[in-house]
């Protein structure tokens, strides 16, 4: 059994004058049929090609189609509520970020743009990888649905397709559709990673739960699971590429890689793990050439996706992860690498001696390396990758494949009657699990009245009373705030991609500091970031995370603007509603002060903001790439914009170029050559890196498509093989 493929082959002289279709047992075929040569003078030879399409029946092909239909039906039956519901009330996750992107991004997808609604401002590329929010926006527009409903539908599609692509990989690699179906069914209905990595130790009861649906519908694993949907296709097409060396497979591998990484950065790590396993189960004699081909496909794929994952963003992700002890690289990380590498090498040697089945060796090696990442983190406190526990989906996929195909020789050795009994028992257990999973899905995914939730009520109050003014909202309110409001906020995005570390320092101070003295410092941070209101959630609030260490610390310090259900909104006094402020150059925070601004620098900056002698500055957005500022600037003064610095920002003051730099808070500082009235035009183009990434992506796409078209154009005839034996 092989995968479906479109192969172009040259006609041989014999085939040119053949009138009989060329048979391919168990496959579909397209055979060229030409008229015989002319027999009388002057008679045209007639070189035109006639195509006869035939289809040979194949038990395994139709069995595989049936298995795919059953897998799709089972998963669609369990997760069907995802296609019908708009709001589930699961506000504990960052699903709100992807829905917000789908709702507000508009033209941001196509060229560098500034994202002003989250984390005090950032490049749009720093929000999240584009596949899931982009698909949500596309479905919402196509079906005329709200973004929340479109997001749940996208989640449903991801849930249904994951086992199907796993089946296709196993089917092609093993030529065993029945066992491939079993592996995909095990992946659909069991949760070995959840059972092994339970909070209180191994819990076999959790093996029969539907962890995949739970993490997508309740938490925030839809992008991660979307990446795993395409991972089996990456392995399949890369395997074909390395075995057959044909451009059509190179293209399939590249497209699959792009889709995998565009769904989640976890997908890039999963590709790397699978590539290592694949390279070492194929013939060692071709290792060097296989590495070169894989590297070339990987490089071209990265160039295509690089606008959303440029090198500077990779550096930002790494730097932000190192800020948290649980994700930092340490000597323990080196120990973890050695443990995994030594164990993998021993297992590779044993498997090579024990079996020549490359598919089985790959499944076991991948299951080992994918399992060891979270196992070492949970049971030994060792990791060499950030968020090591998050690799449970890879672990589940690998274990499903390894378990079924390790059991295959045992099942094959059973008598026919024992095989039949085993099949009936397992299918009965699967049917029981399907019924239980459907019942659990109804309890997990159900519609709610979102207007009753605190996240909605806070957003609507702010929209009504403080439209357009930056606010700070915590926890689940921050994650869903911009689903219901266009008002910018101090948080709301994924911390791992935030470009301004001082924004994280401000949030941590506001949330974790205690007592009136620390509260006064928190107010300084809020004023420095142009925040006009701060929301505090008490222990009795319905906000999910309740992140405040001291929810009462602002009492008596800031005026109360709104209070309901143990949630309070305090007003933060600001001299101006604008995020553009004129300050003395001496008050600019020292850019060499490090990732967290010293307190004396913070006080100096806020004092300048509060100085009534400084001129006012009006600031207006013109789309997502331009800002217009009107103010008065004199010698020794600068304009501070309370948004994150990026090299893609440029300024003109009264028609002349003005210098733009970064200060110690990570903000934009404009030094216009003005003495009096000053009209400043700020433009954002992403900088040379983002423009170069888009240019290389476009050239790579054009080059690949042109090469593919030329290859097809040079073929005089085509045959379609459906190889399913």
Average pLDDT along the chain, 725 residues, taken 10 residues at a time: 37 38 37 41 40 48 91 98 95 95 92 95 96 97 97 98 98 95 97 87 88 94 97 98 93 97 97 97 95 97 97 93 84 95 97 95 98 95 93 97 96 94 95 97 96 97 96 97 97 92 94 94 98 97 96 96 97 97 96 84 97 96 96 96 97 96 97 95 97 96 89 59 41
| Token pair belonging to 5 | 């493929």
Contact (CB, 8 A) for 719 and 5: no
| Token pair belonging to 59 | 């038990």
Given this model, what pLDDT does residue 47 score?
Answer: 40
- Alpha carbon distance 705, 693 (integer Å): 18
pTM comes to: 0.89
Burial of 559 from C-beta contacts in 10 A (0-12 / 13-18 / 19+): exposed
Given this model, what pLDDT does residue 715 score?
Answer: 63
- Alpha carbon distance 85, 76 (integer Å): 14
Given this model, what pLDDT does residue 610 score?
Answer: 97
Neighbours of 427 (CB within 10 A): 12
- Alpha carbon distance 112, 108 (integer Å): 7
| Token pair belonging to 545 | 């995370």
For residue 130, what is the DSSP state?
A: S
Given this model, what pLDDT does residue 46 score?
Answer: 41
Given this model, what pLDDT does residue 136 score?
Answer: 98
- Of the candidates 109, 129, 363, 148, which has an alpha carbon nearest to the alpha carbon of residue 224? 129
Cα 492 to Cα 123, 253, 277, 403, 561, distances in angstroms: 14, 35, 38, 41, 22
Half-sphere exposure for 152 (CA within 13 Å, toward CB)? 23
Contact (CB, 8 A) for 721 and 7: yes
- Of the candidates 417, 376, 423, 380, which has an alpha carbon nearest to the alpha carbon of residue 395? 376
Strands (E), 558-625: 560-564, 567-571, 580-584, 617-622
Residues in the chain: 725
Give the dihedral sign, CA 575/580/585/591.
Answer: positive
3-state secondary structure of 538: coil
3-state secondary structure of 563: strand
Give the dihedral sign, CA 378/384/389/391.
Answer: negative
List beta partners, residue 53: 30
- Of the candidates 549, 390, 577, which has an alpha carbon nearest to the alpha carbon of residue 474? 549
3-state secondary structure of 394: helix
- Of the candidates 390, 483, 535, 492, which has an alpha carbon nearest to the alpha carbon of residue 88? 483
| Token pair belonging to 130 | 């584009």
Strand 667-671, strand 114-115: pairing: unpaired
Given this model, what pLDDT does residue 203 score?
Answer: 86
| H-assigned helices in 199-280 | 211-217, 222-244, 247-263, 265-279
- Of the candidates 589, 578, 535, which has an alpha carbon nearest to the alpha carbon of residue 560? 535
Q: CA gyration radius for the chain?
A: 30
């Amino acid at each position: 059994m092989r995968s479906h493929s479109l192969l172009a082959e040259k006609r041989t002289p014999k085939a040119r004058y053949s009138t009989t279709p060329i048979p391919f047992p168990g496959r579909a075929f397209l055979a060229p049929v030409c008229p015989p040569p002319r027999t009388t003078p002057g008679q045209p030879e007639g070189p035109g090609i006639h195509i006869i399409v035939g289809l040979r029946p194949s038990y395994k092909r139709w069995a595989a189609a049936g298995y795919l239909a059953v897998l799709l039906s089972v998963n669609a039956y369990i997760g069907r509520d995802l296609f019908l519901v708009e709001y589930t009330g699961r506000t504990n996750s960052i699903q709100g970020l992807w829905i917000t992107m789908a709702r507000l991004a508009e033209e941001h997808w196509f060229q560098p743009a500034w994202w002003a609604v989250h984390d005090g401002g950032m490049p749009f590329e720093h929000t999240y990888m584009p596949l899931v929010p982009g698909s949500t926006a596309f479905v919402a527009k196509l079906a005329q649905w709200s973004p929340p409903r479109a997001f749940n539908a996208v989640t449903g599609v991801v849930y249904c397709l994951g086992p199907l692509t796993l089946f296709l990989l196993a089917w092609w690699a093993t030529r065993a559709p029945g066992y491939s179906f079993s592996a995909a069914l095990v992946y659909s209905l069991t949760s070995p990673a959840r059972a092994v990595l339970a909070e209180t130790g191994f819990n076999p009861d959790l093996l029969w739960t539907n962890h995949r649906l739970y993490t997508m519908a309740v938490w925030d694993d839809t992008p991660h699971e979307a990446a795993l949907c395409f991972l089996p296709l990456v392995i399949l097409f890369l395997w074909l590429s390395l075995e057959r060396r044909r451009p059509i497979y190179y293209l399939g591998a590249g497209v699959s890689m792009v889709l995998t990484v565009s769904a989640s950065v976890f997908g890039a790590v999963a590709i790397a793990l699978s590539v290592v396993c694949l390279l070492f189960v194929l013939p060692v004699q071709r290792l060097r050439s296989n590495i070169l081909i894989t590297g070339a496909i990987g490089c071209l794929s990265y160039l295509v996706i690089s606008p959303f994952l440029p090198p500077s963003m990779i550096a930002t992700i790494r730097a932000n992860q190192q800020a948290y002890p649980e994700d930092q690289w340490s000597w323990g990380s080196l120990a973890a690498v050695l443990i995994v590498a030594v164990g993998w090498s021993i297992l590779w040697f044993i498997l090579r001696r024990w079996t020549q089945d490359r598919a089985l060796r790959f499944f076991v090696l991948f299951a080992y390396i994918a399992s060891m990442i979270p196992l070492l983190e949970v049971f030994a406190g060792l990791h060499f990758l950030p968020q090591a526990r998050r690799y449970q989906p890879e672990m589940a996929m690998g274990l499903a494949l390894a378990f079924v195909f390790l059991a295959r020789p045992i099942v094959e050795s059973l008598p026919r009657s024992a095989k039949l009994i085993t099949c009936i028992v397992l299918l009965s257990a699967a049917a029981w699990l399907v019924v239980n999973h459907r019942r659990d899905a109804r309890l997990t995914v159900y519609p709610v009245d979102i207007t009753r939730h605190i996240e909605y009520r806070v957003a609507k109050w702010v929209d009504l009373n403080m439209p357009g003014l930056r606010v700070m909202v915590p926890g689940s309110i921050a994650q869903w705030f911009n689903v219901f409001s266009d008002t910018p906020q101090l948080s709301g995005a994924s911390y791992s991609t935030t470009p301004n570390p001082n924004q994280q320092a401000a949030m941590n101070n506001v949330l974790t500091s205690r007592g009136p003295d620390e509260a006064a410092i928190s107010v300084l941070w809020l004023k420095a970031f142009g925040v006009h209101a701060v929301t505090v959630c008490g222990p009795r609030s319905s906000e999910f995370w309740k992140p405040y260490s001291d929810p009462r610390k602002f009492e008596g310090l800031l005026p109360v603007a709104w209070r309901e259900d143990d949630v309070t909104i305090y007003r933060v006094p600001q001299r101006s509603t604008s995020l553009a402020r004129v300050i003395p150059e001496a008050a600019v925070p020292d850019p060499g002060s490090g990732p967290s601004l010293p307190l004396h620098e913070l006080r100096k900056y806020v004092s300048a903001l509060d100085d009534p002698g400084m001129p006012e500055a009006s600031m207006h957005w013109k789309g997502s790439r331009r800002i217009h500022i009107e103010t008065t600037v004199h010698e020794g003064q600068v304009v501070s914009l309370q948004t994150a610095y990026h090299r893609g920002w440029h300024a003109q003051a009264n028609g002349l170029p003005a210098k733009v730099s970064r200060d110690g808070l990570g903000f934009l500082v404009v030094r216009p050559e003005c003495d009096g009235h000053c009209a400043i035009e700020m433009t954002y183009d992403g900088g040379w890196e983002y423009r170069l990434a888009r240019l290389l992506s476009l050239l790579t796409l054009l080059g690949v498509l042109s090469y593919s078209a030329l290859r097809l154009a040079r073929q005089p005839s085509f045959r379609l093989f459906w190889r399913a034996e």
